[in-house]
Amino acid sequence: MLETEQKFLSFHLGTKDTAVMSLQHITEVLQVPLTEICGVPQMPSCVLGIYNWRGEMLWLVDLEDMLGYTPLSHSTNSLTRMMAIVVQKDGKYLGLLVRQILDIEWLDIQRIKNVDNQLFSSQIIPFVEGYFINENEEMIIYIDAKSVVRAPIWELYN
């Protein structure tokens, strides 16, 4: 292991993209039954509602919808539970719902490539730290958890 390697959680974004998020910003990963999400009216479409997590209210966000992908609710297979990546910033927690968690990976942060406006949609760019190319020559998108939690969308509701 190199000194420049860090641990990342990898997950699917959409049907064909792979993304990672640094483990240092992740509090927990949990499975959330959809029946236990309490919808909140007048919220952006990416906000699915709140969930009782450790006796606290946890806002749940469809990360794919927020980043410009097809919303998880439009998935052909009717999902009954989803995986939530719980991230924290300034004592506030946010649950990011994703299709599937893949693995924990060690990635060399010196190999991060800069964001290229030609590769990403304008909707996802504010949340992308960069990207990696894996040994199969596939792109792995590095999502910045802090940018997601600091998104202007939350200022309206906090």
151 pLDDT band, cuts 50/70/90, is confident
**Domains of the chain (ranges, CATH numbers):** 5-155 (2.40.50.180)
CB 140 within 8 A of CB 19: yes
Q: DSSP secondary-structure letter at 135?
A: T
List Cα–Cα distances, 88 to 33, 47, 92, 150, in angstroms.
Answer: 21, 17, 5, 10
Give me the chain's average pLDDT, please: 89
User: What 3-state class would DSSP assign to 110?
Assistant: helix
- Model confidence over 33-78: pLDDT tens digits? 988 999 999 888 899 999 999 999 999 999 999 999 988 877 655 5
Mean pLDDT confidence for 94-103:
93
Relative to beta strand 139-143, strand 17-22 is parallel
